[in-house]
Every structure is written in structure tokens, then in C-alpha cells.
Amino acid sequence: MFAEALEDILKDVSAPAAVRSIEAGQSPALLWAAIADAGFLELLASEENGGAGLALPDLYPVLTMLGAHAVPVPFAQTAAARVLLTPDQVPTGMLTFAPVVRRLANGSISCPLVPFGLIADHVLAQEEDRLYLLPAKDAVCEPTGVHGSLTATLSWRGDSGVAAAAAPGVIATFGAAIHSALIAGGMQRVFGMTLQYANDRAQFGKSIGKFQAIQHQISVAAEHVAASSIAAESAFQGVGPVPELLAAAIAKSRTSEAVPLVASIAHAVHGAIGVTEEYDLQLYTRRLHEWRMSHGAESYWNRVVGRAVIASDTSLVSDFVRTACASRPAFA
């Protein structure tokens, strides 16, 4: 229900032309106001605090919708902050998560490669068991230099934000789960565009989708898109307000691993047209590559999963998977 309602809004305010203009430096205020005025920022806030009290399983289709539209604002992070901060700590404006916090020798804080760091009003960063709400206007901002990227490295002098207690790693876990859902949604859009193009583009008297080599490539992409969607959705099957670490690790690892393969197949099927500025495919594949790296690529999360396997009582990975799934309500 919420995903369908949000999609109706995004069709108008997050069309490819709007995404391009925000990437080029235009203000995202119109897009942000449309989402905020409709009340979507309070999806995860409790009903006692005026929110919808949305459960994690119901949040997943909303996040995939954001990925499918390449929404260029930190809506997911801002909504998720409602379950990490008390109502009086939640600031007005766009909030994003810092993947990493580095404490420098002079006491200053540096947060490398913050998603939406160029446009966010606040950054929620975690250092061990403490959260820092850092105002972006006080930070030194360094863009990545990548075309169209809204990611930036932000630095502050000392502790300049509100601090709150939190379980260690909660920002990393939530960030990984969010980006796995965004990737799943983005890959579904890329796959749909690729399938449509293969059916429409004709060569030698028939659509290129009828050639065996193209069919094979599309089949491989379909397998990875389906597997990634299942992994990403599993990260949102917990009963708590925050995704579980192991499920989020598996989801981010699987979705990130699929990104280069699905993106390369999409561009191979589209040919040279796929990389042109005028064609929309590059909007989504650029996002996929960026989201793959956000909050850790598959190499980082594979180590998290590997340590969990070693620490378990099982000797086979298949037994570990069955045990992990059986312990979760959605799979029991």
C-alpha cells in the first residue's frame, strides 16, 4: 500500500529528468517536500509519536521502489533514523548515514564516502556504542569527483553533534540492509529495460532477443536479479525495528556481487546506446555501482558471514544456512 502510494508521487517528482537536474546541482527541495509532505518520513516512527509504525517486512517494497526510481535524496536513511533517535533528537531536513567514522589525532571526525553527503542536512555517524548527529553545514565537504555522484567525504572539528547510545554496528547493519534493497530495486529496473530493448531492437530481420547468445546473457542476469531480490528481502524479515546483522550481511554481499555482472550484461545487450547521457540506463547502472560500494562491498560482508560460519557449531555451510533460516520467524 505504501509502496504504491509512494510510486505515484515518484512518477511525477523523481522522473529521469528530475534525477539528472539534481545530479547537476539543482536543489532537491521540490522532490524532498513532496515526500515529506505526504508523511512518508514517519513510516518507521511509532504510532505514539505520530508515525505509521511500519514493520521491517513492509518497508522492503518501499525501499526497492526508491531504487527502481534512482531517487536522489536520502529518504531511506532519514526514515530509518526515526527508530535510532528519540523524537526530540530527530532534526528537520535530510539525514544520511556515515558508513565509517575516523577519529583523527587532533580529535576531529572524518566520515569518508557518505552517501548523499553533498545534499544532506545532517549525518548520523556511529563510533563504537555512540551515535553522533552532525550538521552538514559545519563540515568540510569533499566531493568524489565521479560524474553525477552525490557522495562526499565530510569532516568536522571535534564532537559537534548530539550523541545518543546505540548498539555497536547498528548504523553499518541498517545501512547495508537499506542499500541491498536499493540495489534490488535498481537491478529490477535495469533488467526490465534490458528485456524490453532486446524485444524491440531488430537485427537481420528479427529481434535481438531471439538470438541464443542474447538469450543466454539475459537468463544469467535474471538469475542474479532474482537471487539478489530474495537475499535483500530476507534482511527485512526480522521482528525487531532494526535488521539483523547476519541477514543484512548476506543481503549486501549477494546484491553487491551481482551488480557488476547485471550492469555489464545490460550494457552489452544495449550496445553503445546504453552509456549515452540521453539514455536512462546509465542513471541506474551508475547508481548500482555506487550502492555496491556504500557501507561495504561484498568483500567486506563476506568476511562477516565467514566469521559467523566459523563460529557456528555446524561443519557444512549448507547446515549453517538451514540453521540460520530456521531461527528466523519468516522461514521457520
pTM: 0.94
Amino acid residing at 182: L
CA atoms within 13 A on the CB side of 8: 6
pLDDT of residue 325: 66
pLDDT at 331 > cutoff 50? no
Residue partners of 115: CB distance under 8 A and separation at least 6: 74, 77, 96, 97, 99, 150, 151, 179, 290, 291, 294, 295
Dihedral, CA of residue 32, residue 183, residue 98 and residue 137, to nearest 10? -30
Contact predicate 176/252, CB 8 Å? yes
Per DSSP, 111 falls in state E
- Parts of the chain belonging to CATH 2.40.110: 93-168
Cell numbers standing for residue 50: 505520530
Tell me the C-alpha distance between 256 and 253, whole Å.
5
Of 306, 217, 310, nearest to 253 by C-alpha is 306
Tell me the C-alpha distance between 242 and 44, whole Å.
10
Kindly indicate the confidence band of residue 55, based on its pLDDT and cuts at 50, 70 and 90.
very high
CB-count exposure of residue 202 (10 Å: 0-12, 13-18, 19+): exposed
pLDDT at 209 > cutoff 50? yes
* Domain 93-168 in CATH 3.30.1040: no
pLDDT at 65 > cutoff 70? yes
- Parts of the chain belonging to CATH 1.20.140.10: 170-327
Tell me the C-alpha distance between 164 and 6, whole Å.
31
The pLDDT tens digits for 67-111 are 999 999 999 999 999 999 999 999 999 999 999 999 888 888 999
Of 1.10.1200.10, 3.30.1370.100, 3.30.2320.80, 1.20.140.10, which CATH number belongs to 170-327? 1.20.140.10
Cell numbers standing for residue 279: 539514455
Kindly indicate the confidence band of residue 244, based on its pLDDT and cuts at 50, 70 and 90.
very high
pLDDT of residue 316: 84
Contact predicate 123/92, CB 8 Å? no
Identify the sign of the CA torsion 313, 309, 221, 56.
positive
